[in-house]
Amino acid sequence: MSLSLLGWVLACLTNYLPYWKNLNLDLNEMETWTQGLWQVCVVQEEVGMQCKDFDSFLALPVELRVSRILMFLSHGLGLLGLLVSGSGLDCLRVGERQRKCKKWLLILGGVLFWTAGVGVLVPVSWVAHVTVQEFWDETLPEVVPRWEFGEALFLGWFAGFSLLLGGCLVTWAACCSQAPLAAGRYAAAETQYLRHPLEMKNTRLTV
């Protein structure tokens, strides 16, 4: 659960960070361009960072448009996975006697985490693939600056694999765990509750 939560938070950061691509100008080393899914920024040593949002969604390249949709879908699935799997945790007393229901909630949460991880890895890998193709495009003159990988791509890969691994661990734990869901004082209270009718019955037989 902690690993999945970490991956979901990092995925949200990846979506809004304007560091998916970096562009270093050889003619002006004091100026660096960065690009994300929502805006393009220029970093200058004297002025600092100045960003401008993209004017039109339809004017964006297809990989950026699809990436926006998939990232939002991943955020929704990840949040839903946190809520569903959180409801199936052993530490919650709600539904503690419905062990089978809690098990299926954990399995469903793990599947949602896994799907959210795929939803992050696909756009990040797609943008990285397009960046590599454009970088080695022989039709462009050598003097033309080329975009390179930004820090947000690596953060997105880490977030996606964290969600995948977290989802697999949650599902595996739900399928393989044989421990009772009620623990501690709840388990003791339930045992005492079940033992009380037996003691009353034995007392009546003795009398």
Residue 25 is assigned to a structural domain of this protein? no
89: which 2 tokens? 């945790």
Residue 130 is assigned to a structural domain of this protein? yes
Q: Which of residues 198 and 84 earns the better pLDDT score? A: 84
H/E segment holding residue 174: helix 151-176
Residue 125 is assigned to a structural domain of this protein? yes
Which pLDDT tens digit goes with each residue over 33-91? Answer: 999 999 999 988 777 889 999 988 999 999 999 999 999 999 999 999 999 988 877 66
pTM here is 0.78
Which pLDDT tens digit goes with each residue over 83-112? Answer: 998 887 766 655 556 667 888 888 999 999
Residue 119 is assigned to a structural domain of this protein? yes
Give me the mean pLDDT over the 99-126 stretch. Answer: 92
Q: What angle do CA 121, 127, 130 make, to 5 degrees?
A: 135
Residue 47 is assigned to a structural domain of this protein? no
Residue 145 is assigned to a structural domain of this protein? yes
Residue 41 is assigned to a structural domain of this protein? no
pLDDT value of residue 143: 74
pLDDT value of residue 201: 47
Q: 61 — alpha (psi -120 to 50), left (phi > 0) or beta?
A: beta
| Nearest-angstrom CA–CA distance, 120 and 84 | 20
**Residue 173 domain boundaries:** 1-15+58-204
Residue 48 is assigned to a structural domain of this protein? no
Distance of CA 154 to the CA centre of its chain: 14
| Nearest-angstrom CA–CA distance, 172 and 198 | 37
Considering its fold, how many domains does the chain have in total? 1
pLDDT value of residue 28: 65
Do 34 and 18 form a contact (C-beta atoms < 8 A)?
yes
55: which 2 tokens? 């004017």
CATH number, domain containing residue 111: 1.20.140.150
Under the banding of pLDDT at 50, 70 and 90, the label for residue 181 is very low
pLDDT value of residue 92: 60
Under the banding of pLDDT at 50, 70 and 90, the label for residue 180 is very low
End-to-end CA, the chain: 54
Which pLDDT tens digit goes with each residue over 135-179? Answer: 888 887 777 788 999 999 999 999 999 999 999 999 998 888 654
Q: Which of residues 105 and 120 earns the better pLDDT score? A: 120
